[in-house]
Amino acid sequence: MPHYSGMANRHDDKKPTRRTPKPRQKLNIRERKFVKGIVSGLSATEAMRQAGYKETTARIKQSAKLAQVSETIQAVCERLGLTDEAIVSTLAGGLVAQKCISAIGEADGKSTDFVEVPDWGNRLKASDIALKLKGRYPSDKVDITHTGKVTLVID
């Protein structure tokens, strides 16, 4: 087969290149609202609901949506000063939290002596968060399978 100048040889050794889609840079309005909800402290499901997603979508696709916007959430947290170091530092302070209570009351109802004691409520919350961050709790979801008859007795 003759080769004419100016015509490309279709049987070159070059492999066809496959285009990979560019990652999306901008978030749509719902995704931006979702990120705002997450950063403000809402659960993923509640943030999706408030962003305008349907109830079923919010329950089913919350993990996928979190993964999709995780870089944006991370950037917003960093911009707000919520670095890993700041979070761990605050959490460490919560683990040894103290509170000041009135030790002696006078007849007029005013306290003159105060004592610092452990703040067990805040320590418990900080411990709970720390354990979750370290992955020490089992998964929230438990699958139970059972075959056979079940008898429910209510007293």
Domain boundaries along the sequence of the chain: 25-81, 83-136
Quote the CA–CA distance of 68 and 23 in Å, as a whole number: 11
- Is pTM beyond 0.85 here? no
Residue 101 backbone phi and psi in degrees, to 5 = -125, 160
Per-residue pLDDT band at 77 (split at 50, 70, 90): confident
Quote the CA–CA distance of 3 and 114 in Å, as a whole number: 99
Return the pLDDT at 13: 53
Contact 44, 63 (CB under 8 A): yes
Return the pLDDT at 97: 92
List of residues 6+ apart from 35 with CB closer than 8 A: 27, 69, 72, 73, 76
Quote the CA–CA distance of 112 and 102 in Å, as a whole number: 8
Q: Examine the pLDDT at 23 and tell me if it is beyond 60.
A: no
Q: CATH: 1.20.1070, 1.10.287, 1.10.20, 1.10.10. Which one for 25-81?
A: 1.10.10
User: Cα-atom radius of gyration of the chain, to the nearest Å?
Assistant: 29
Q: What's the residue count for the chain?
A: 155
Give the residue, 51 or 134, on which the prediction is more confident. Answer: 51
How high is the mean pLDDT of the chain? 78
Q: Examine the pLDDT at 142 and tell me if it is beyond 90.
A: no
